[in-house]
């Protein structure tokens, strides 16, 4: 059984981005810049924003962090995005999701310029991805593809089952895997799928993105499968200093011995999401130059 280390792969990606950034700055005289917008005081989201800032500094980017109160109006947020759209010094714009309920995520995402949409969620980028055209790809699916490539896991002719149909993971993941050159046979399951185990048991590659702790159990896995666990869930654990521990959507201790390869949580898909955000921001800078 191979542990698919996102830490290892992300370190390589960031090293490559850092080298390319140095070359870009030398060639153009400008530094790539990422603007991150956070509305509200959600602790987990604030942690993600801070880690993205550190990653920018690590690879040589500049960054702007816009921290807005929870009661920020949709009009005010749209105004900020339009300002960032028009700022030639900003290459990428990322609005941290989820947003407060009084703000329409759809309106916000559609207002971000598609050539600055380093999260890959703008309808133009989603459409180009589905059509097999060049686009910014959502960072988590892009990171999963990079893990598969790094560990030489072939997808051609493989049965791939994705659990979760979000715009952030499930849908773009399916679109990537069905492209020519990837050639997987893709089944996308969701909360309304009847008897999910019927599908997961035949998966050569299983990608779990439900957001529910350890719901994929040993009896749902095909022996020798590759398991990609996108979930990051907090469960109470009094033995830990923080009072909780992080687990994925799959029951790792019981499933891992029966897999050919599996991502750990933490240290699997998570680090790749930020690494691919850095790569997308550099691509945006090249595009604008």
- Reported as a single tens digit per residue, the pLDDT across 194-220 is 999 999 999 999 999 998 999 999 999
Torsion from C-alpha of 120, 124, 127, 132, nearest 10 degrees:
-80
Q: What is the DSSP-derived secondary structure letter of residue 258?
A: G
Q: 260 and 224 in contact (C-beta within 8 Å)?
A: yes
Average pLDDT, the chain: 96
pLDDT, average across residues 233-242? 87
Catalytic residue among 91, 116, 117, 119: 119
How confident is the model at residue 60, as a pLDDT? 98
Of 210, 163, 211, the residue nearest 187 (C-alpha): 163
Establish whether 52 is a catalytic residue. yes
Q: Has residue 283 got a pLDDT over 80?
A: yes
pLDDT, average across residues 64-92? 97
Catalytic residue among 14, 52, 158, 171: 52
Q: What is the DSSP-derived secondary structure letter of residue 64?
A: E
The full set of domains in the chain, from first to last, is 28-113 (3.40.50.10860), 139-270 (3.40.50.720)
How confident is the model at residue 146, as a pLDDT? 98
Q: What are the helix (H) ranges across 182-268? A: 196-200, 252-255
Torsion from C-alpha of 9, 12, 14, 16, nearest 10 degrees:
-140
Establish whether 14 is a catalytic residue. no
Q: 284 and 26 in contact (C-beta within 8 Å)?
A: no
Please report the sign of the dihedral spanned by the C-alpha atoms of residue 183, residue 274, residue 57, residue 282: positive
Q: Has residue 187 got a pLDDT over 90?
A: yes
Cis peptide upstream of residue 266 (ω within 30 degrees of 0): yes
φ, ψ dihedrals at 211, nearest 5°? 80, 25
DSSP H or E stretch at residue 92: strand 92-95
pLDDT tens, residue by residue, 43-56: 778 888 899 999 99
Catalytic residue among 96, 116, 204, 249: 96
How confident is the model at residue 234, as a pLDDT? 86
pLDDT tens, residue by residue, 14-35: 999 999 999 999 999 999 999 9
* Residue entry with tokens 């055209």: 133
CA dist 36 and 92 (Å) reads 8
Mark residue 164 as left, alpha or beta (left: phi above 0; alpha: psi -120 to 50; beta: remaining). Answer: left
Establish whether 96 is a catalytic residue. yes
**CB contact set of 151 (below 8 Å; sequence gap of 6+):** 2, 4, 261
pTM of the model: 0.95
How confident is the model at residue 7, as a pLDDT? 97
How confident is the model at residue 175, as a pLDDT? 97
């Amino acid at each position: 059984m191979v542990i698919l280390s996102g830490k290892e792969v992300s370190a390589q990606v960031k090293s490559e981005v850092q080298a390319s950034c140095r070359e870009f700055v030398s060639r153009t005289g400008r530094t790539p810049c990422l603007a991150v917008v956070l509305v509200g005081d959600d602790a987990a989201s604030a942690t993600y924003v801070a880690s993205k800032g550190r990653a920018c500094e690590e690879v040589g980017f500049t960054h702007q962090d816009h921290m807005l109160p929870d009661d920020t109006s949709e009009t005010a947020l749209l105004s900020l995005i339009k300002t960032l759209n028009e700022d030639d010094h900003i290459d990428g714009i990322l609005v941290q999701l989820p947003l407060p309920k009084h703000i329409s995520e759809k309106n916000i995402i559609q207002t971000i310029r598609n050539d600055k949409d380093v999260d890959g969620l703008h309808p133009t980028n989603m459409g180009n991805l589905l059509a097999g055209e060049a686009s910014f790809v959502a960072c988590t699916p892009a990171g999963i593809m990079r893990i598969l490539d790094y560990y030489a896991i072939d997808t051609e002719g493989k049965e791939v089952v994705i659990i979760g149909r979000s715009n952030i993971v499930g849908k773009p993941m399916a679109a990537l895997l069905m492209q020519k050159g990837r050639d997987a046979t893709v089944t996308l399951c969701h909360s309304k799928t009847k008897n999910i185990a019927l599908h997961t048991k035949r998966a050569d590659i299983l990608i779990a993105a439900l957001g529910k702790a350890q719901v994929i159990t040993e009896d749902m896995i095909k022996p020798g499968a590759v398991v990609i666990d996108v979930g990051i869930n907090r469960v109470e654990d009094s033995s830990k200093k923080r009072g909780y521990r992080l687990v994925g959507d799959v029951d790792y201790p019981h499933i891992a011995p029966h897999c050919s390869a599996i991502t750990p949580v933490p240290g699997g898909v998570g680090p790749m999401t930020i690494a691919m955000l850095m790569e997308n921001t550099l691509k945006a800078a090249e595009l604008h130059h």
